[in-house]
A = this chain, B = another copy of it.
Amino acid sequence: MSRQMVRPGGRSARVQASVHTAVRELASEVGRDALTVPMIAQRAGVTPSTVYRRWGDLQELLSDVAVERLRPETAPGDHGALAADLTAWAEQFLDEMSSPAGRAYIRDALLGDPDGGNAGQCSAYAAEQIDVILTRASQRGEKVPDVETVIDHVVAPLMYRILFRPDGLGAAYAHRLVTAALDPTGR
């Protein structure tokens, strides 16, 4: 888990919030690679030593912020059928993650992450969203694969290509993956 085991209210919470927003603001102003701890601290109205004590180093801070931004803000849409729901979700997922900013967030989340906790959180977000879609389809009476199958057949290929082969990715590929994963002869 993250290092948000801080006192829940008061100054600690304020510091954390202002540091996080400072990171996001500065990242969009000067670019992610130009970020430094002193720069962030100044914008947040905090001293650099506070940042070092709370987060250890810049990478862990960026990893925390990245996970926060990768958290889905809305439940997956309901289009009346499993295939449509999954396709729409996969296309949106690909869209958000394959942008330069999205790739940078993924890499940051993977990076400052010795114990693998933050990366696991990202995967858990996707699994939650898929579970919502599958549960809804199941209640409609549709036959559904399990979450792990969808992760192996849809999420993993998308993520692999986002990270290792950013070229030639599009909605068509996402659609194809979903269709193959749901094809009964493919199960």
Chain A residues with CB under 8 Å of chain B are 107, 110-111, 116, 119-120, 122-123, 151-153, 155-157, 159-161, 163-166, 177, 185-187
Q: Which of B123, B152, B163 contacts A119 (CB 8 A)?
A: B163
Contact B163 A152 (CB under 8 A): no
Enumerate chain B residues within 8 angstroms of A116, measured Cβ to Cβ. 164-166
Contact A155 B160 (CB under 8 A): yes
Contact B165 A123 (CB under 8 A): yes
Given contacts A111-B111, A159-B164, 4 further A-B contacts (CB under 8 A): A110-B164, A120-B164, A163-B163, A185-B186
Instruction: Report the bound CA distance from A110 to B108 in whole Å.
Output: 10
Contact B164 A119 (CB under 8 A): yes
Q: Which of B107, B111, B122 contacts A164 (CB 8 A)?
A: B122
Contact A152 B165 (CB under 8 A): no
Instruction: Report the bound CA distance from A32 to B111 in whole Å.
Output: 13
Enumerate chain B residues within 8 angstroms of A156, measured Cβ to Cβ. 156-157, 159-161
30 contacts between A and B (CB under 8 A): A107-B110, A107-B111, A110-B110, A110-B164, A111-B111, A116-B164, A116-B166, A119-B163, A119-B164, A120-B164, A120-B165, A122-B164, A123-B160, A123-B164, A151-B157, A151-B160, A152-B153, A152-B157, A152-B160, A155-B160, A156-B156, A156-B159, A156-B160, A156-B161, A159-B160, A159-B164, A160-B160, A163-B163, A185-B185, A186-B187
